[in-house]
Amino acid sequence: MAIELQDVSFTYLPGTPYERQALRGINLKIQEGSITALAGHTGSGKSTLLQHIGGLLHPDRGQVCIDGADLAAHTKQEKRAALAACRKVGLVFQYAEHQLFEESIYEDIAFGPRNFGLAETDVEARVREAMARVHLDYDAYRDRSPFQLSGGQMRRVALAGVLALHPAYLVLDEPTAGLDPRGRRELLQMIRELHAAEGTTIVFVSHNMEDVFAIADEVVVLRQGMILLQGAPADVFAQGEQIAAAGLRQPELMRLLSALRAAGVPLSAEETAVRTPAEAAQAIVCALKEKGGRTHAQ
């Protein structure tokens, strides 16, 4: 069970002077249960790719399949299968707080489940659960207007609105854009928790390599509508030249560790697995001990 893209190409406004090819023959398989980051410079096609996975855009060529069902339907029977497949994907847009519209937080989160035809008792259960997932107290917040919240809280309400649909695949476009450090940390933590608790597959687009490095276990780097690199974050980011060619920067932690290694601090090969400052500090202490030990031995 997975998201599969086969030879997907897409062109905006074909046949006009504004024609622009956004995706060129993308082949990609996103495994169930993974946290996959799509990284790339502005215009690399990452948001277009995301909309294909959400079934909002259909490829000119190739196909997008969710758990084996093609999202572009032709016959009536296929349509039902495509809709069911589409509903397994929850899409959270960039600056998602800008799509809130209801008078109360409860009503806004209930919008999706109601559209899916759920009974009111089920809707309530879904809203309750979704609010808990984004750390908003149900009783304290359910009747409040979403527009009185802070930016970070509004984004959490918008996220809850998608989580209430129980997506098997949660797809997010720049989830931390514009948030302050605390808001960013909290949101990444929520995504991690969701993944751990429900096993929800996470796919997210980011130009922030720190976010990618912090939570992804698979990275796909896009450049000009094509896949440039794909693999585990440590392996992908180790290819400095390619990363720069994609208009991206290595995560700061990684740059710092390479600088240390270049300056003669004997960090072991395992430090490619280092992803947090805590792990980095530990690795550095070990390396210093070893170097110190060697010095003593001489």
Q: What are the residues binding another protein (CB under 8 A)?
A: 12-13, 16, 18, 20, 41-42, 51, 54, 56, 87, 90-91, 93, 96, 98-101, 111-112, 115-116, 147, 150-152, 161-162, 165, 177-178, 180-183, 185, 207-209, 247, 249, 252-253, 255-256, 259-260, 263-265, 277-278, 280-282, 284-285, 287-289, 291-293, 295-296
Nearer to another protein, 90 or 175 (CB): 90
Contact 244, 64 (CB under 8 A): no
Amino acid at 122: D
Q: How far apart are CA 188 and CA 283, in angstroms?
A: 24
Q: How far apart are CA 168 and CA 244, in angstroms?
A: 33
Structure tokens at 57: 């855009």
Nearer to another protein, 196 or 263 (CB): 263
Q: How far apart are CA 247 and CA 269, in angstroms?
A: 27
Minimum gap (Å) between residue 1 Cβ and another protein:
21
Nearer to another protein, 164 or 220 (CB): 164
Closest CA to 158 of 93, 88, 87, 89: 93
Minimum gap (Å) between residue 192 Cβ and another protein:
18
Nearer to another protein, 27 or 293 (CB): 293
Nearer to another protein, 16 or 196 (CB): 16
Amino acid at 92: V
Q: How far apart are CA 71 and CA 86, in angstroms?
A: 7
Q: How far apart are the first and last CA of the chain?
A: 57
Minimum gap (Å) between residue 251 Cβ and another protein:
9
Minimum gap (Å) between residue 171 Cβ and another protein:
9
